Every structure is written in C-alpha cells, then in structure tokens.
Homo-oligomer: A and B are copies of this chain.
Amino acid sequence: MDGRTPAPEGIDADARLDRDTSNCSIARTLEIVGEKWTILILREIFYGSSRFGEFERVLGCPRNLLAARLRMLVEEGILATETYQVPGSRSRPKYVITPRGMDLIPAVLGLLQWGDRYRADPEGPAMLTRHHGCGAPVGVEVRCEAGHAVAAEDIESLPGPTFRLRKAG
C-alpha cells in the first residue's frame, strides 16, 4: 500500500472523486466545533470553568467571539446554561457540559494525545489525564465493536446508507 491507508472498499476511483461530501460526518462536526476558540472553550469546561469571565480570563479571547461560540455550543446542545449565585450578588448564567458535549471528549482527547506525543516540551506536557479509578494515564484507542484494538492500517472504509455522488456537471 506504499504508505497509504486502505482505499474505501466498493468504490472505484471515479466514484471516490465524484462523491458528494456535503453529508460527511467529519465536515458536519467541524461546522460546529471547527471554528477558532470552540475546542479551547470545551477544554476549559473540561478543566472546570463555567462562567463567561473565567473563559475570557484564561483564554484571552475577544468577548464578542466568546459570546458567539458559547451561543453556538448551547444551540447545538453541547453546553447548557444554568444559573449560579454568589452571596451578595444577583444570579448569573453559567455553562455546563451536556451528555452530547461529553461525547466530544474522545475527539478532544485525541488532539491532546497527539500534542502530548509530538508537540510537548521535552520535559513533558502541561497537564496529565488519568483514570479516576486506578490512577493510570488515559488515552484514546481505536477499537471495533467486537472488542479488538484496531491499528490505523486495519481500518476499512465503505459507502454507507447515504453515500451519494455529486450531480453531474
């Protein structure tokens, strides 16, 4: 295979190049989380932030973008708003992650893991992640439903139920 991953089964080269990628799940996910700051907001949520001012302070991002990203994440059901109240102040909104948002954690952890491996300082990464139960470091793995660990080379792609070709033109 000269360094390439396996080409999709059951698609000839023309169909592969003529396929309609508008319903690609990767593209659709990136429409939501692919803009600058969005993944970093999720990182801060993951590390325990929940208030507008906390995100602004630790990320250093423009308030208008922060507001726009938070709105998008809430609209998409990845975050939800609740209220908090410190004594002597009125109640204010905070942002909490939903189950739908939790399901993005493997993707974010995948980015973290790659960065730890290839882009960390020689002394190691800034943050470590470990299993609350046993204390061992955590990572993401590719596995099949039969429970086997799957190497990247052994992942096979094939057309799914909504595979389609572009309109001729």
What residues of chain A have their CB less than 8 Å away from a CB belonging to chain B? 2-8, 13, 16-21, 23-30, 32-34, 36, 39-40, 43, 45-50, 54, 57-59, 77, 80, 82, 96-98, 100, 102-121, 123-134, 136-146, 148, 150, 152-164
Contacts and interface: CB of A to CB of B under 8 A. Distances in A.
Give the secondary structure class of A's interface. Answer: mixed
Contacts of A47: 7-8, 16, 157
A59 B21 contact: yes
Given A28-B119, A47-B8, A142-B140, A132 B157 contact: no
Given A106-B113, A107-B110, A130-B158, 13 more contacts: A3-B96, A4-B96, A16-B48, A16-B49, A20-B126, A24-B43, A29-B115, A30-B111, A46-B157, A107-B140, A121-B161, A128-B160, A140-B140
